[in-house]
Amino acid sequence: MKKTLISLAVASALLVSSVGVLNKVNADDNNTGAAANVNTKTYNDGTNNADVQVNGTLGGDNTNTDSNIPEGSDKWINITLDTATIFYNTSNDSKILSPTYNITNNSGRPVNVSVNSFKQNDSTDISKVAELNLSVKRSDGTTASNKLIENGKLSNNKTNLLTLANVNGNLTNNDTAVSGNNKATFTYNGSLSNKLTSTINPSFTMNPLFTPVSW
């Protein structure tokens, strides 16, 4: 299921959560990025007019590496990810687990992935959640993690996780493409400080940040 917000519901003695994230992230129309192929000329000889070449690109394809989209513009963002996710455990266990979820960069540019924010949506007591981590693994085996909860409190750690290659598997404009490096999986893991005797269902919102890499 793909939707615009993450909602994450937890249960222990099934400690379960549901999450919603952005399916595609696009900048507003003012985010134009850096101009490319700029020619500059100084008129200082009394000439009172100038010719400026204007080349338009309409309906540009951000999956194409040669698209005339300014470097650094969020218009390069084209991300697909699972947005209904859970983590859980049972009443006789203190270890937190989750299924495996997917994220794919469809863009002609690499994209840096990080956690922008992780917020609790309700007042459920999470003091017994010793830690909850988001773990990400790129297809080539590169891994990274971000702590979401520590000692019963939201950590608000905004660490850059990893870079997803562009749709062709390139991390830079002149490296050797590695097929599949535009894809990664993510999971949740952690533990409780004490086993729970009753089920709790806190709800969270996680907001990931996707930043295009210029080349």
C-alpha pair distances (Å), 134 with each of 43, 59, 85, 95: 56, 36, 12, 14
- pLDDT tens-digit series, residues 104-152: 999 999 999 999 999 999 999 999 999 999 999 999 999 999 999 999 9
Q: What is the pLDDT of residue 161?
A: 94
Higher pLDDT, 32 or 206: 206
DSSP state of 158: -
Mean pLDDT of the chain: 85
Per-residue exposure over 10-41, b if at least 16 CB sit within 10 Å of its own CB, e if not: bbbbebbbbbbbbeebbeeeeeebeeeeeeee
User: How many angstroms separate the CA atoms of 114 and 155, rounded?
Assistant: 14
Q: What is the pLDDT of residue 6?
A: 36
pLDDT band at 160 (very low <50, low <70, confident <90, very high): confident
- Give the predicted TM-score (pTM) of the model: 0.78
Q: How many CB atoms lie within 10 A of CB 125?
A: 9
- The H or E element that residue 115 is part of is strand 111-120
- pLDDT tens-digit series, residues 19-56: 434 444 444 445 556 666 678 888 888 888 888 888 77
Question: CA nearest 137: which of 146, 125, 126, 145?
Answer: 145
Q: How many residues can be counted in the chain?
A: 215
Q: What is the pLDDT of residue 33?
A: 60
Question: CA nearest 9: which of 81, 88, 100?
Answer: 88
Beta bridge partners of 72: none
Instruction: State the amino acid at position 117 in one-letter form.
Output: S
Q: Could you tell me the domains of the chain?
A: 8-29+61-212 (2.60.120)
- pLDDT of 8 over the 50 cut: no
Give me the residue label for tokens 């950590």: 155
